[in-house]
Amino acid sequence: MDGSSVSAAEGAAAPAGHRGDGPFRLSVIVPMFNEEGSTDAFFDAVIPVAESLTSDFEILCVDDGSKDATAARVEARAADDARIGLIRFSRNFGKEAALTAAFDYCDGDAVVSIDADLQMRPEVIRDMVAKWREGWDVVAATRADRETDSGVRAFLSRRFYHYFNRISDTPIPPETGDFRLMDRGVVMALRQLPERTRFMKGLFAWVGFSTTTIAYDHGERHAGTSSFRLWTLWNFALDGITSFSTFPLRIWSYMGFVTAFLAFLYGSWIVLRTLIFGIDVPGYASLLVFTLFLGGIQLISLGVLGEYIGRLLQETKRRPIYLTRSTVLPRGREDAEDGP
């Protein structure tokens, strides 16, 4: 485990001193979208783990505009268990927005984000807390395998992170996801990031802090199916790249230079050839090929500009990242009205 912690901690701070074995408050934050089949099993699995760690914890669920009975299931549990809270969105805003809301409302000393589908085993939280006590600010769980993903998804995902890390200033440790423990200070830092495009994996990396990793086996979904189709993931990837790199914008200046240089060489050759051998009429094929090729290149560069400009537009509108229709915070917290 120490080997992997080196790669994740690259460029980040070393851990602070031991946090001691005293009492602490734990926040478990859970984005939920159409998870009615998993919620009860999730609570049954996570509550004993939390209880074994501390007497003071909250489980903060964010219902991301589910179309099924997810919210009702959580409300039923929250009625009996004051440690469970529920933030309901007015519609589906996406997992990244759900995580953002949870970070805005949670108040633990240590905050663990975890999916509701039990693909991430709650027992791992024990090891995370142990690492946090050792002094690490962030403990990210890394997937030991990608067996539960389709071959295509696993392959594309790996490619994406490979290229992302080559062009981004803030590399993302491979195979880490949204299953992680963060110290309160890290959550405070995340709250300061104002952008509307919430590529959380990138934001996690951007804020820094001392980071270590724990490997875990990613299980099968407890119930239901993944909400992420290839097209969603593609747009997610574009969000990530445009938020963390301007390389796709800059590359076109270089392409322009190279093309202009080659055009100059070719033009000189044509002039020379005309001077030596006279006017040579045929040239239809080469003319068409060059026109189409340059047209294609120009359209691609325009498209890249469009990707950035569209996102700039989203940012300048400064719409809220999410809207809530109701907020029930765990008992003992009277700050519901003061939320963001």
Site residues (vs ligand UDP, CB under 6 A): 31-33, 35, 64, 92, 94-95, 98, 115-117, 119, 226-228
CB of 114 closer than 8 Å to CB of 120: yes
CB atoms within 10 A of CB 336: 13
Burial of 139 (0-12, 13-18, 19+ CB in 10 A): buried
Q: Is the Cβ of residue 116 or residue 189 nearer to ligand UDP in the bound state?
A: 116
The values of phi and psi at residue 178, to 5°, are: -95, 10
**Residue 116 partner contact from Mg ion, ligand UDP, none using kind-dependent CB cut-offs of 5 to 8 Å:** ligand UDP
**Residue 92 partner contact from Mg ion, ligand UDP, none using kind-dependent CB cut-offs of 5 to 8 Å:** ligand UDP
Report, in Å, the least distance between residue 192 CB and Mg ion.
28
Query: Whose CA is closest to 331, among 109, 43, 105, 83?
Result: 83
Q: Is the Cβ of residue 32 or residue 50 nearer to ligand UDP in the bound state?
A: 32
Report, in Å, the least distance between residue 119 CB and Mg ion.
4
Q: Is the Cβ of residue 8 or residue 99 nearer to ligand UDP in the bound state?
A: 99
Q: Count the site residues for Mg ion by CB under 5 A.
A: 3
Is the Cα torsion angle 225, 175, 54, 326 positive or negative in sign? Answer: negative
Report, in Å, the least distance between residue 233 CB and ligand UDP.
9
Report, in Å, the least distance between residue 240 CB and Mg ion.
18
Report, in Å, the least distance between residue 82 CB and ligand UDP.
23
Q: Is the Cβ of residue 101 or residue 207 nearer to ligand UDP in the bound state?
A: 101
CB of 80 closer than 8 Å to CB of 328: no
Q: Is the Cβ of residue 120 or residue 186 nearer to Mg ion in the bound state?
A: 120
CB of 331 closer than 8 Å to CB of 83: yes
Q: What is the amino acid identity at position 241? A: I
Distance of alpha carbon 181 from alpha carbon 22, whole angstroms: 18
Q: Is the Cβ of residue 169 or residue 220 nearer to ligand UDP in the bound state?
A: 220
**Residue 31 partner contact from ligand UDP, Mg ion, none using kind-dependent CB cut-offs of 5 to 8 Å:** ligand UDP
**Residue 314 partner contact from ligand UDP, Mg ion, none using kind-dependent CB cut-offs of 5 to 8 Å:** none
Q: Is the Cβ of residue 86 or residue 116 nearer to ligand UDP in the bound state?
A: 116
To 5 degrees, how large is the angle CA 249–CA 250–CA 255? 105
Distance of alpha carbon 152 from alpha carbon 71, whole angstroms: 33
**Residue 140 partner contact from Mg ion, ligand UDP, none using kind-dependent CB cut-offs of 5 to 8 Å:** none
CA distances from 266 to 45, 234, 261, 272 (A): 69, 38, 9, 10
Beta bridge partners of 181: 112, 139
Token reading at 158: 């790996």
Report, in Å, the least distance between residue 73 CB and Mg ion.
17
Place of tokens 């909250």: 58
Report, in Å, the least distance between residue 110 CB and ligand UDP.
20
- DSSP letter string, 243-290: HH--HHHHHHHHHHHHHHHHHHHHHHHHHHHHHHH------HHHHHHH
Report, in Å, the least distance between residue 322 CB and Mg ion.
20
Is the Cα torsion angle 324, 328, 332, 337 positive or negative in sign? Answer: positive
Q: Is the Cβ of residue 228 or residue 257 nearer to ligand UDP in the bound state?
A: 228
Build a one-symbol-per-residue string for 77-116: x at contacts with Mg ion by CB under 5 A, - elsewhere: --------------------------------------x-
Build a one-symbol-per-residue string for 109-148: x at contacts with Mg ion by CB under 5 A, - elsewhere: ------x-x-x-----------------------------
User: Contact positions toward Mg ion, by CB under 5 A?
Assistant: 115, 117, 119
